[in-house]
């Protein structure tokens, strides 16, 4: 690029600070500072400062590029989970992992959804299930499994089908996660390969998949909710 007669080149990328040099200076300047940003693709603010080491032409200059990533919340900032009704009296059936977003650009939404999951995992953010917050162990399990499923979906390896549990004499449910965009209220869901069959006349599944009593998930094998919500743990034998 060129600014005020100073010809320069710069390094780009995620590094916090890069130093580049040039040996082609059109006219002597010192302390020349110019700024561009924020960048629309990466969200960085770029600051360029060039200092000429000599006062005549053809002298070297040092250009320092500083990149500051603003502290931005992920597009999908809160997550919940639950079981969705599939049908009654269904024999084993094939399903595909399915991602559904309220916006049209699905590939962008997939990436943003996974970014939200990864941030939630790093920050140990709570996840809501059955109107209660999961405890830390259950939340971390949620983020890890959902992020892995989303990555497979993005890579196209999740297009192969998975088979539900046999449920000829009951009601079939499929586990899903939901991400919400703070502010806009936009939502996206990811349905995976966890299924339960509730016997006829039974209530909907009571626990996240890793905590279900098998095969009906009417009670839980281990506490999954925050201690402030003990009534929704539905422990077996209690």
**CA atoms of 197 and 173, how far apart (whole Å):** 6
- pLDDT tens digits along 136-148: 999 999 999 999 9
Query: HSE on the CB side for 100, CA within 13 Å?
Result: 8
Q: Which domains does the chain have, with CATH numbers?
A: 2-68 (no CATH), 78-232 (3.30.1750.10)
Query: How far, in whole angstroms, is CA 160 from its chain's centroid?
Result: 22
Overall pTM > 0.85 = no
> Looking at the predicted structure, is the pLDDT value of residue 167 above 90?
yes
- pLDDT tens digits along 40-69: 333 334 344 444 444 544 444 444 544 444
User: b/e map of 175-207 (b: 16 or more CB within 10 Å)?
Assistant: bbbbbbbeeeebebbbbbbbbbbbeeeeeebbb
Q: Pairing state of beta strands 128-129 and 78-90?
A: parallel
Sheet order of strands, 187-199 included: 98-101, 187-199, 167-180, 78-90, 128-129, 132-133
> What was the pLDDT predicted at 41?
33
**CA atoms of 229 and 227, how far apart (whole Å):** 5
Tell me what the mean pLDDT of segment 187-194 comes to.
93
* Token code pair at residue 150: 């989303």
> What was the pLDDT predicted at 159?
57
> Which of 112-116, 121-125, 200-204 bottoms out in mean pLDDT, i.e. has the lowest?
200-204
């Amino acid at each position: 690029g060129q600014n005020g007669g100073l010809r320069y080149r710069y390094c780009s990328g995620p590094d916090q600070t890069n130093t580049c040099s040039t040996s082609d200076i059109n006219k002597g300047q010192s302390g020349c500072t110019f700024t561009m940003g924020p960048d629309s693709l990466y969200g960085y603010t770029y600051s360029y400062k060039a200092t000429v080491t000599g006062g005549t032409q053809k002298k070297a200059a040092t250009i320092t590029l500083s990149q500051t990533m603003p502290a931005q919340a992920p597009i999908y900032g809160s997550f919940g989970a639950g079981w969705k009704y599939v049908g009654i009296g269904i024999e084993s059936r094939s399903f595909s992992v399915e991602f559904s977003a309220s916006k049209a650009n699905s590939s962008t939404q997939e990436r943003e959804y996974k970014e939200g999951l990864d941030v939630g995992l790093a920050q140990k953010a709570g996840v809501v299930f059955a109107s209660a917050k999961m405890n830390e162990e259950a939340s971390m399990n949620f983020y890890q499994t959902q992020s892995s499923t989303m990555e497979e979906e993005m890579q196209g390896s999740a297009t192969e089908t998975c088979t539900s549990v046999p449920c000829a004499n009951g009601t079939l449910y499929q586990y899903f996660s939901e991400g919400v965009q703070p502010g806009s209220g936009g939502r996206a869901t990811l349905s995976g390969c966890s299924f339960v069959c509730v016997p006829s006349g039974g209530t909907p599944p009571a626990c996240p998949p890793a905590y279900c009593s098998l095969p009906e998930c009417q009670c839980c094998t281990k506490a999954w909710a925050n201690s402030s919500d003990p009534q929704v743990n539905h422990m077996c034998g209690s």
